[in-house]
Amino acid sequence: MSSSSHAPAAPIPISSPPSSSLHRNTSTSRGPRRQSTSTGTSSGGLGRRPSRVVHPPMVPKILSHDEAVEALRSFLRERSSYDVFPVSFRLIVLDTTLKVKKALEVMLLYNVVSAPLWNTAEAKFAGMFTVQDVIHLIQYYYHTSSWEGAAADVEQIRLFRIREVEKTLSVPPPPLLSVHPLRPLYDACRFLIRTHARRLPLIDKDTQTNGEVVISVLTQYRVLKFIATNCRDITQYLTSTLQDLGIGTYVSPEHDSNSENQFYPIATATMQTAVFDVVHMFSERGISAVPIVDDNGKVLDLYETVDVITLVRNGAYQALDLTIAQALKQRTADFPGVVTCSPKSSLSAVFSLIRMRRVHRLVVVAGPEDSQPGRLVGIISLSDIMRSLMGNDVPLGGSGIGAVPIDRELREEAAETGHEPFTLGQSVE
């Protein structure tokens, strides 16, 4: 299949800084939100922050890149996670006794790729169900069952058994992370970076019942969109290039071009690669997207973990035998396309892009001046952008999204200081 048959996925280069006609949201900070009804808990006893109107920060002078970063950090210190959410939003919470197949149907119906879990018997937050869980489930069935058996089992397996799957695969279970929604957004962002988590559930306490209340889930995308929308006067000064800032993962220049993966350390696939092999890369490398390249290394498309969900939504696990080219044909029409940028793009241009459209990663390609324009050069995830804003001094836990060492490390730190900064519990059993 040629790349031209994937019209919606044609790479979209990032554009120059925003036009003045862009809408600018000035109502950046609002009072606390009403409790979601999903958990059926009363909102009466929730902690409240005094209602106030906070305007975007005033920027009196021209800033250097570093000053702009510092101004953004100050902005985040003065906001809480509540500020990131609109006045009204929907929260899907899944009961841990729900069958996986049902959970997938609900997620597709409401167009979400993750949801908090609720243990009704104990009236407790029980972790998150995410795309990574589905990827692990697929791996599990590959090792232990046939596709037919897998499809039948997914009909039956319930969400609380997901952690057994991780044990069988020897994958570290995700620590049960959460943050109070009134904690400074800056702290929550550092915690996101530190734990390699892509999302942080916001848990409040009902002061009347002392029970837990799931408020929402803070994601890297929401935080960056919030900054992009409200701090345009600051992000315009993020003039350093992605290359100079070292944001993202890049093809190693020293790597032997004759070796098996000429794009090392970037995991790539071709149109002929089987979907299952890409699923294996997702699971093994803890990544959520793989660029699809042609024989010359030109980027044709991007295959993402969310694509797998769409593919297996009806328990059609045989679909994993399809090639990427065949699987891409099943992509829904609303796929937003692959966004590309050059290593010389500025961080400011990336924020302009995030302000204008939904973007979860950028593929870095060689520019028109290169002998091979469009050649894969690197990949930039939202976590890379977050890390560049929050600073490289954030101590990192072990690798992988579900790294157990960070759990232990944070507990030790909390014991030493006598201050538990965030909630760390046991994952759902």
**What is the distance between the alpha carbons of residues 133 and 260, in angstroms, rounded to a whole number?**
29
Residue 92 is classified by DSSP as -
**What is the distance between the alpha carbons of residues 244 and 237, in angstroms, rounded to a whole number?**
15
With respect to ligand AMP, which residue has the nearer C-beta, 230 or 381?
Answer: 381
With respect to ligand AMP, which residue has the nearer C-beta, 26 or 261?
Answer: 261
- Out of 96, 178, 346, 383, the residue judged to bind ligand AMP by CB under 6 A: 383
C-beta nearest to ligand AMP: residue: 381
Q: Kindly state the helix (H) or strand (E) to which residue 64 belongs, with its residue range.
A: none
Q: Are 198 and 226 contacting, i.e. CB atoms less than 8 angstroms apart?
A: no
**What is the distance between the alpha carbons of residues 364 and 376, in angstroms, rounded to a whole number?**
6
Helices (H) and strands (E) in the chain, counts: 15, 14
Q: Is 173 helix (H, G, I), strand (E, B) or coil?
A: coil
Chain residues 295-324 in contact with ligand AMP, contact rule CB under 6 A: none
- Out of 185, 275, 341, 379, the residue judged to bind ligand AMP by CB under 6 A: 379
Query: How many residues sit close enough to ligand AMP to count as binding (CB under 6 A)?
Result: 15
Q: How far is the CB of 83 from ligand AMP (least distance, A)?
A: 24
Q: Which stretch binds ligand AMP (CB under 6 A): 25-33, 138-146, 281-289, 330-338?
A: 281-289
204 interacts with ligand AMP by CB under 6 A: no
Could you count the other beta carbons within 10 Å of the beta carbon of residue 201? Answer: 24
User: Any idea which residue has 């959970």 for tokens?
Assistant: 103
- Out of 44, 149, 246, 265, the residue judged to bind ligand AMP by CB under 6 A: 265
Q: Closest Cα partner for 399 from 249, 261, 284?
A: 284
Tokens of 214: 């799931």
202 interacts with ligand AMP by CB under 6 A: no
174 interacts with ligand AMP by CB under 6 A: no
Q: Are 279 and 138 contacting, i.e. CB atoms less than 8 angstroms apart?
A: yes
Q: Which stretch binds ligand AMP (CB under 6 A): 30-38, 232-240, 362-370, 377-385?
A: 377-385
With respect to ligand AMP, which residue has the nearer C-beta, 261 or 314?
Answer: 261
Chain residues 331-370 in contact with ligand AMP, contact rule CB under 6 A: 361
Q: Are 304 and 260 contacting, i.e. CB atoms less than 8 angstroms apart?
A: no
Q: How far is the CB of 421 from ligand AMP (least distance, A)?
A: 23
289 interacts with ligand AMP by CB under 6 A: yes
Q: DSSP secondary structure string, 180-236?
A: -TTSBHHHHHHHHHHHT-SEEEEEEEBTTT--EEEEEEEEHHHHHHHHHHH-HHHHT
- Out of 119, 288, 348, 427, the residue judged to bind ligand AMP by CB under 6 A: 288
Q: Which stretch binds ligand AMP (CB under 6 A): 76-84, 288-296, 311-319, 342-350?
A: 288-296
Q: Are 56 and 79 contacting, i.e. CB atoms less than 8 angstroms apart?
A: no
249 interacts with ligand AMP by CB under 6 A: yes
Q: Which stretch binds ligand AMP (CB under 6 A): 327-335, 337-345, 347-355, 378-386?
A: 378-386
Instruction: Report the interface residues with ligand AMP, using CB under 6 A.
Output: 198, 248-249, 265-267, 287-290, 361, 379, 381, 383-384
